[in-house]
Every structure is written in structure tokens, then in C-alpha cells.
Structure 1
Amino acid sequence: MFWLRRDLRLHDNAGLYHALKSNHPVLPIFIFDTNILNQLPSKTDRRVEFIHNTLRALQQQLAELGTSLQVYHDTPINAFKKLIKEYHIEKVFTNHDYEPYARERDDSIAALLQQHAIALHTYKDQVIFEKSEVIKDDGRPYTVFTPYSKKWKAKLDDFYIKSYPTEKYTGNFYQQAGKEIPSLRSIGFTGTGIPFPPVDIDDRIIEQYDKLRNFPAIEGTSHAGIHLRFGTISVRQLAQKAQQLNETFLTELIWRDFFQMILWHFPHVGQGKAFKAEYDFIKWRNNEDEFARWCEGNTGYPIVDAGMRELNATGFMHNRVRMITASFLVKHLLIDWRWGEAYFAEKLLDYELASNNGNWQWAAGCGCDAAPYFRIFNPHVQAKKFDGQLQYIRKWVPEYETLSYPQPIVDHEMARKRCLETYKKALDR
């Protein structure tokens, strides 16, 4: 049995490759995990729609191979209890997941399978290097990105980014007639029909990435995040491309690995704690009206408002603007970074815990390898530097330069001074 999770593809899939080579017919399964779905605040969550669309496409591919995906809408424990009753299962294969909930889930499934003498085999698939594969010479994990990235690059060779040739073994799928996938509506969600970013990334985007990635009005980023998050693209293939075409793009993939490694070694960061404990003493203002204005994109700072409106409308926000909006919430408004982290978690199509948490803690100054707390983005300077022609701002804030656009929610210099005083007071305890 192969359990699909964050690896929704047949091509170059580590766990699937090993399952297909195991000399047993392989049944692919997917579980719409009610432990996760029941916590989602919106029943039009486009990530669920993306998964559903992807499963339908996978089902077509599998039908051509004479097999079928078996899909459950249940807790993983209940789904596996049903599977154990229905099939004689020799082994279960899947790929690693590093998030706290996923680790608990996998431990409980492993215990259930063990009771029935079923082996669970898991593999690295969603990152190039995981866990303790890139560590300091003394065996401790890195907590600063630059030395980590140097060791990462020094270790990288063809072995780590070669593809798994699953196509050679597709004759080993369990042969059965097509099973019906539960409809989106039957699992409690409705679709929007809004298109998703294409899985095929134009090589020219990667080639020009270092030159264009900071300008939100230009299509200069890959939009690969959602495909990496759900595994509809292989990180190994993307790393192969990046190695050939653009080192800056490769560095972004290294950041992903870095944050997954941090989450693995320091799971408290994924459980609402600052990486640096002393930052948990900051006295946040947490003004709910100001938070609402930030969420809506009505702060009177046009680059911040453009980013929040893009996020709300599309589920995407340009990388540079993510930094600006996060810094503004935490430093200008003194609102707890966890509030912003949770809002991005709800809205971002490419949300994954490790990167979202890592980047929010970076912006707040409380994370590993964080921006120093006294580095505070000036939104006006950022807008001038990266959207000098106001193309991005005018697209998302059409009322900018009219009387209906609100005055700034806070004065930059006053907010900067207040932030520095608040942080210093907490850290000087």
C-alpha cells in the first residue's frame, strides 16, 4: 500500500518507487484527514480544491495503468482500520513529513500497523536534505542559514537529486477497476473554479530569478510554492534545474530545507513558541482594530495594503511583499507575530508550517538567523525601491492617490521608536 500525502504525483516519487519495487502489488491510497479539514475556517479553502483536482488527475493516470486510487474521508486511524479489514496488507509505504501533527499521526499509524504485523516504510521525498543530513562538525544542528547553506552546497551531488524512475515499475500496481473519488461537496467543501499556478515552470523565470524576484509588478517568481507544498512537482527536478540555471533560485530551495530541519530539531517553534525564548517576553499591543485593518489591506501604507489585498484575492503574495507586510504588523503595530502567522496559514495556497513559521519569526527577530530586531523596514522606502512606477500598488489599491484612501494607521518614525523601546525593554530583563 502506498499512502499519498505531500507527494501527489506518480513521477519521481521516492516512497512510491520503493513500494513498486517491493515485489507486491501496490494499492495507492489518499486520506482526506478530518483532523485537519475540520479545523479549516473556510469551506471554500482552495487548497482542498487543489488537492481534489490533483487527485482526479492522478486517478486518470492510474486508470490508464489498470489500477485505481482509493480515497477516504476520515481520520487516518479509522481509514487504516477499514483498509486492514478489507485487504491483506504486507507493507505500507509513504514519505516523511516533519510537522508535529504529522509525526504524532505517523507514530499512531505505525503502532496500529505493528499490532497487525504490518511493516511501515517511510522515505525522504519533499526536501533534498533532511533531519541531520546537514549538521555542524560537532553533530549539532545549524541555527544560522549561511554556514548551513555552504555545507548543503558542498554536500550536494548527483546522488541527492537524481530522479526515482517509477515509470519502470508501474506494472506492479494492484489491478482493480476505478473507484470513485468523493466529491468536493461530499467532504464539506465547495470549489471556486479559480485557476491555480501551472505546474510547468518556465525556464526563463528561473534564469532571470535573481534579477527580477524582488519586483512585485513583474512576473519574476515561479509560483512553485503550492506544487512543492503538495508534491505535485519533484523538489529534486527543481533543484536540477536551479543548479543549471540560477544559484539564487537554488538558495530558495535551501531555505526550505533549512526551515524543515529547524522544525525537526526544534519542534517548539511549530507549537507557538519563539525560537529564542527571551522574545516571548515582548509586551505586544495586539490592537484588534489595527489587526483587522492590516488583514483587509487598509493601513494607509500602500505597499502593505497591496500585498494583503493580493493575498486575500488570490491566495498568493509576492515574496518581497511578504517580508514588508510581516515586518509592518510586528514592528509598526506591535502585534504578536503569531497572529500574522495564523492569518497567512489560513490564506496562503503554498502554506507550509516550517517556512511560514520560519519567515514570521525571521521578520519578528525572534527566530533562528533572524533579522536583528532593530532592523525595521520603512514601507515607503521599500515601495519606492521595488515598485517605483506604482504598478503593483495601483493594481491592488486603485483608490491610492484619491481622497478615499485612508491616512496611515501609524506614523513610521513614532512606530519605529516605540518598537525599539518595547523590544529593548523585553530583552533587557
Structure 2
Amino acid sequence: MAGPTLVWLRDDLRLADNPALTAAVSRGHGVVVVFVLDDESPGIRPIGSASRWWLHHSLAALDASLDGMLVLRRGPAERVIPALVDELGATAVYWNRRYSAAREIDARIKTSLRDAGVEVESFQANLLFEPWTVQTGDGGPYKVFTPFWRACLERGGVREPLGVPDLGAVLGAPGSESLDGWGLLPTTPDWAGGLRDTWTPGERGAHDRLDAFMGGALSRYHRRDEPAVEATSRLSPHLRFGEVSPFQVWDRVHGVSANSAKFLSEVGWREFSWHILFHWPRLATENFRPAFDAFGWGHPGDEVLAAWRHGRTGIPLVDAGMRELWHTGYMHNRVRMVVASFLIKNLLVDWRVGEEWFWDTLVDADEANNPASWQWVAGSGADAAPYFRVFNPELQAKKFDPDAEYIRRWVPEYGTPDYPDPIVDLARSRQEALDAYEAVKAAAASRG
């Protein structure tokens, strides 16, 4: 007699449009749903503090949707999953594919379980276009977004999202660990008050957010670069944890507004980042463009770095963005580019330092978008400008926050004697960055 199917969830914490779960229910014989907290296996990047907060609440919401049947286990997946298969007498294991270096773990588990006579299947769930399906004319990966996204759109064939399968097939299992026991939430000090006020993790919260976007912000999306205007979707953390799928977003947004194509191209940037990470798995630690190994990063000191992290630089738009991040675990995308450029170009700090800070403080930090975005701003990444772009935060503020509405929201002392002087001269530091870039150009020229 066939045993139950084990469904192993990762970054797909949802019931609707979950191909692995749907296929497992269709197979019959009962389903056990498990989430494994694996923060120790090689190839796994342990998530940051803000993401741990989100994960706790997302798992709690998922467990409630499953009537308390979600199984939690902690440890290396290559030990936990086979042990759970033996414990349950499971005869099949299903999961949705992932595209980071962790896929090597999946491949080894798949091979060992199949060798033991267990059926193992994986599914496309979290990307519209899987990395190996979109190739250049010579069969290689794309390194520039525009031709990549054009090739994706020419492929077409975005499937319709799946519904919620019959959850009566979901079984409990003995030995589930305590979510509270995992210690994902902050204790003393409790810094998550702003996160609680801002977000509702979980599948229902994701669809409420999508509904709100469709009901208002999409019509204003052409003003997405203005941080004081509610014109963006704020779906990024829900997509990061898979509480909503890109197929569901595509289905709701495609063709319904004059702004739809532009918004979906931003979803395309998410796809492009994963495409890059799939082919260059060390994206968070190595320059995508090796010539940037010659860039002369400075050493501003702990005090200057702390001023950037906590929004005390004396540069209003930078400070507003960093305070928004500290309070909400989120930052407007235009401002993300400005604060990253300021750290890299004006303070001459290695982009990896900023990437690690965002990894710890963003609720939407994922393994592809976070390093890809930092490298893009640094100029070391894929599709970077052919020249060395330096965002001027004062000009950016005048253009995108002309009434300082966003700045005053997060920096109430702006314009008063209590606001600090700038920690760096923007013009002089810009020139120092351009001078440092000369070494990169020379290194690139020597490579031919």
C-alpha cells in the first residue's frame, strides 16, 4: 500500500497556486506538509533578523490555514527529509524548485530518495521563466535585462494560477517542533514594533496587499519613483516568502491598466536577478564584473558606517530612507538606489557591507534581488551602466520629493538646528569615487 506524500515547503508558503501541494493531493494516499528550518547546510545563507520575524508570522499563518497540521523540523535538510520519510512511511516527496546554490542539496536528496525507491518530483512555482529556459542565441545566459525580458515575453505561455486543493487530504505528523522554540522573534529589545504596524505576513495578507494595489496604487504606478506617493505594490516580501506567486500577480495585473506593462517589467527584474544568481551563484560575495576587484574601497570607520546605518548622515534623503528601513523593514526602491550609491560612491564602502546590512534589516531580502541590486548600483553587476553612475541625493530629493514630504515623515528634525551637518562633501567624494573608478577602467582595458 502506498504511503503518504511529503510536501516540503521552502520559499512557497501558500496553499493556492502551489503546484507541489496540488500534485500531492491529486496523488492520493494523504499529504504531510513540512517546513524545514535549515540554516547550517553548505549553500544555505541563513536569513537575517527582519526576515526571521517575517518567517515566524508567515509560518504561523500557514499553520492556521492548515488547521494546525504544518510539520516543523529544524536541521540540515539532507538529514531531516530522509528521516521524516522513514518516520512517516512516505512513498513520495514533492517540492517546488529553488534556484540558488541550495538546488545542489535538492539534487542530492532527490538522487538518494529515488535510489531508495521513493518517488520524488519537483515543480515550477516561484518564477515565471526558469533560468535554463531563457537563453541567448548562442545558448548562454543573458547579462542585460532588456533583451532578457524581451525573450521572456516572446516565449509567453504564462500559465494560469492554480486554486487551493482539497485540504482534507492533509495529515498531521508526530514530533512537530515548536515555532516559538525556534527563537525567530526579537526579545530584548523588541525592535519589531514598526514591522508589526506595517505588515501582515501570510497568504491572506499577501492577497490583501495585491487587492489594495489593484484598487488604487496601480493607477498611480507611473509615479512609482516618488517615495511620498503610494504608487508601488509593496508585494516584495510576500513574493520573497512565496505567500503569493508571480503567476497570481501576472494573472491579476496583465493587461488591465496602462501601467500594467511597466509594473510587470519590474517583476521581470526579479526574474532577471534569479537568472543571474542561477548562473553566478556567488553573486553576494564576488563582483559580477571582475574588473571591479581593482576598485579602491575606502575605510571610513565604524562611526561613519553607524551614521549611515541609523540615518544620521546629514543627507536628508539618505537619512529618511535608512530610518524607514529601520522602522518598517522596507525602503522605497528609488531611495534604496540613493542610499546604496551614497554608501558605495560617496563613502567608498564596499558594496558587500551594504548588502549584508540590507540582508539583515529588509523583510524582502532574497538571495537574488539583494546582491544583484547592490551590484547594479556599484557598477559591478549585470546590466550596469557603461559609465560610473553616482546618484546625487540632493538632486534626487529635489526631483522625486520636491516638497520634502517623505523626508519630513522620517526625519522630523529636518531643517532645525538639531539636524546634523553632512558627514561628507558630496562633490569632493563624488570626484574621489570617479578617480577610484579609473583603476577599474584600466583593469577592464587590460583584460581586453
TM-score by length of 1: 0.91
Q: Please name the residue that 2:58 is paired with.
A: 54
| Aligned equivalents of 2:54, 2:143: Cα separation in 1 | 34
**Matching residue of 2:161:** 163
**Structure 2 partner of 1:27:** 32
Q: In the alignment, which residue of structure 2 is the partner of 1:280?
A: 293
1:34-183 equivalence runs, <5 A: 34-35=39-40, 45-63=49-67, 68-100=69-101, 102-157=102-157, 160-167=158-165, 169-171=166-168, 173-176=169-172, 182-183=178-179
Q: Which amino acid aligns with 1:321?
A: V
Quote the RMSD (CA, aligned, Å).
Answer: 2.2
1:237 maps to which residue? Answer: 248
Q: Which amino acid aligns with 2:235?
A: A
In 2: Cα distance, 1:178 partner to 1:77 partner: 20
Q: 1:269 aligns to what?
A: 283
Which residue of 2 is the match for residue 363 of structure 1? 377
- The 1:262/1:39 distance shift into structure 2, 3 A limit, reads closer
Residue aligned with 1:35, SS: coil
* Alpha-carbon distance between aligned partners in 2 of 1:161 and 1:17, rounded to the nearest angstrom: 15
**CA deviation digits over 1:1-30, x for unaligned, max 9?**
100111101111122122222243221111
Alignment-mate amino acid for residue 69 of structure 1: L
Shift of 1:179: 7.6
Q: 1:175 to 1:214 in 2, by over 3 A?
A: same
Q: Does 1:217 align with 2:228?
A: yes
Match of 2:183 in 1: 188
Deviations 1:26-65 (A, max 9, x none): 21111122428x98697xx3422322322233223323xx
Of residues 5, 16, 23 in structure 2, which corresponds to 1:11?
16
The answer as to whether partners of 1:56 and 1:181 remain within 8 angstroms in 2 is: no
The 1:176/1:300 distance shift into structure 2, 3 A limit, reads closer
Match of 1:399 in 2: 413
Cα distance, 1:87–1:41 mapped onto 2, change above 3 Å:
closer
Counterparts of 1:281 and 1:17 in 2: how far apart (Å)?
A: 50
Which residue among 345, 353, 358 is the counterpart of 2:359?
A: 345
Counterpart residue identity of residue 293, structure 1: A
Per the alignment, in what secondary structure is the counterpart of residue 250 of structure 2?
A: helix
**3-state SS in 1 of match to 2:27:** coil
Could you say what secondary structure the match of 1:370 adopts?
coil
Contact map agreement 1:33 1:74 (CA 8 A) in 2: yes
Gaps of 5+ in 2: 1-5, 187-191, 444-448
Shift of 1:81: 4.0
The reply to whether residue 421 of structure 1 matches residue 435 of structure 2 is: yes
> For residues 333 and 299 of structure 2, what CA distance do their matches in structure 1 show?
25
Structure 1: segments with no counterpart, 5+ residues: none
What amino acid sits opposite 1:13 in the alignment?
N
Q: What TM-score results when the alignment is normalised by the length of structure 2?
A: 0.87
Residues 108 and 286 from structure 1, CA distance in 2 versus in 1: closer, same or farther, beyond 3 angstroms?
A: farther
Q: Which residue of 1 aligns with 2:446?
A: none
Distance 2:29 2:131 in 1: 30
Match of 2:394 among 380, 402, 409: 380
Give the superposition deviation at 1:206. Answer: 4.8
Tell me if structure 2 keeps the 8 A contact 1:68–1:179.
no
Show CA shifts across 1:271-293 (max 9, x none): x1111111111110032232221
Q: How many corresponding residue pairs? A: 416
Change (3 A) 1:373 1:210: same
**What's the counterpart of residue 338 of structure 2?**
324
